[in-house]
């Protein structure tokens, strides 16, 4: 089998060269609105490359990972890294709208908050650093872009440090009276059961102690005995 090598540009395989960028703040509070924008830059490098290919965002996945480092002394022996914990894993579906090919940023979705991306808002602890404890975060963004003509999907991933700022979380509203929503129903039921079991017994006359004025306690006869 022989191979033919040629420099004729008309015989080269078409290529698609795109650069996708994702833009959002690198620091935010738990209730601060975050604008999420994406852009696509297409560059034609060969004569056989398509002139105006069509691209849409299939979806975008956002992860926020927490890292904890602690130490008791100043030496490296007691330096502890607690690994990482994913506190946010949020998927944003695409809107099937065509992306501009000139790198113009377009909104990916309506502005969101970190609290909107998780049901466990108590995990959104502000970043801090002391001599012994260091809590920091990293943001991971994965954007899936689909080429409409061929159906091929491109995945772009970006990682960068992220800082959670101090902010006040709204107080949850309760629709009906009862125990706080922070406590599960099983715990509330157990508390009610224990309180009923520990209630004092009902007072009954037949179980009451005898009166000291009655003859059952003290007798006036010489052979009187003290009843204890």
Mean pLDDT of 11-30: 88
CB contact at 8 A, 182 and 175 = no
CATH class as words, domain 15-165? mainly beta
pLDDT score of 200 more than 70: no
Q: Where are the domains of the chain?
A: 15-165
216 versus 63: the higher-pLDDT residue is: 63
Q: Where are the beta strands (DSSP E) in the chain?
A: 17-23, 27-29, 37-43, 55-70, 80-93, 106-107, 128-129, 133-147, 153-165
How confident is the model at residue 212, as a pLDDT?
53
Residues with Cβ < 8 Å from 18, sequence gap 6 or more? 40, 41, 42, 43, 55, 145, 154
Give percent above pLDDT 90 in the chain: 50
Cα–Cα distance list, 51 to 35, 47, 155, 156, 223 (Å) = 31, 9, 22, 22, 125
189 versus 24: the higher-pLDDT residue is: 24
Residue with tokens 């890294």: 81
Identify the band that residue 70 occupies on the pLDDT scale cut at 50, 70 and 90: confident
CB contact at 8 A, 153 and 55 = no
DSSP 110: S
50 versus 174: the higher-pLDDT residue is: 50
pLDDT score of 134 more than 80: yes
How confident is the model at residue 87, as a pLDDT?
95
Choose among 64, 69, 68, 78: nearest CA to 27.
Answer: 64
Q: How far apart are CA 210 and CA 214, in angstroms?
A: 7
Mean pLDDT of 107-130: 92
Mean pLDDT of 55-77: 86
How confident is the model at residue 61, as a pLDDT?
96
pLDDT score of 89 more than 70: yes
**Average per-residue pLDDT for the chain:** 78
Identify the band that residue 180 occupies on the pLDDT scale cut at 50, 70 and 90: very low
Identify the band that residue 47 occupies on the pLDDT scale cut at 50, 70 and 90: confident
Q: How far apart are CA 203 and CA 211, in angstroms?
A: 16
pLDDT score of 211 more than 70: no
């Amino acid at each position: 089998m022989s191979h033919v090598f040629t420099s004729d540009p008309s015989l080269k395989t078409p290529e698609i060269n795109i650069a996708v960028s994702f833009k959002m703040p690198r620091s935010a509070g738990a209730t601060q609105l975050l604008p999420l924008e994406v852009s696509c830059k297409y560059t034609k490098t060969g004569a056989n490359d398509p002139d105006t290919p069509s691209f849409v965002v299939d979806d975008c996945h956002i992860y926020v990972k927490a890292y904890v480092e602690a130490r008791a002394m100043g030496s490296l022996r007691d330096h502890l890294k607690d690994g990482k914990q994913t506190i946010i894993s949020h998927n944003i579906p695409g809107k099937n709208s065509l992306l501009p090919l000139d790198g113009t940023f377009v909104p990916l979705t309506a502005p969101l908050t970190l609290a909107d991306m998780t049901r466990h808002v108590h995990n959104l602890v502000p970043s801090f650093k002391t001599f012994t404890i260091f809590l920091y975060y990293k943001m991971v963004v994965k954007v899936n872009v689909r080429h409409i003509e061929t159906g091929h999907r491109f995945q772009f991933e970006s990682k960068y440090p992220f800082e959670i700022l101090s902010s006040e979380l709204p107080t949850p509203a309760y629709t009906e009276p009862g125990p706080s929503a922070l406590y599960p129903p099983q715990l509330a039921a157990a508390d009610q059961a224990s309180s009923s079991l520990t209630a004092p017994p009902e007072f009954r006359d037949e179980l009451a102690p005898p009166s000291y004025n009655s003859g059952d306690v003290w007798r006036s006869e010489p052979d009187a005995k003290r009843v204890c």
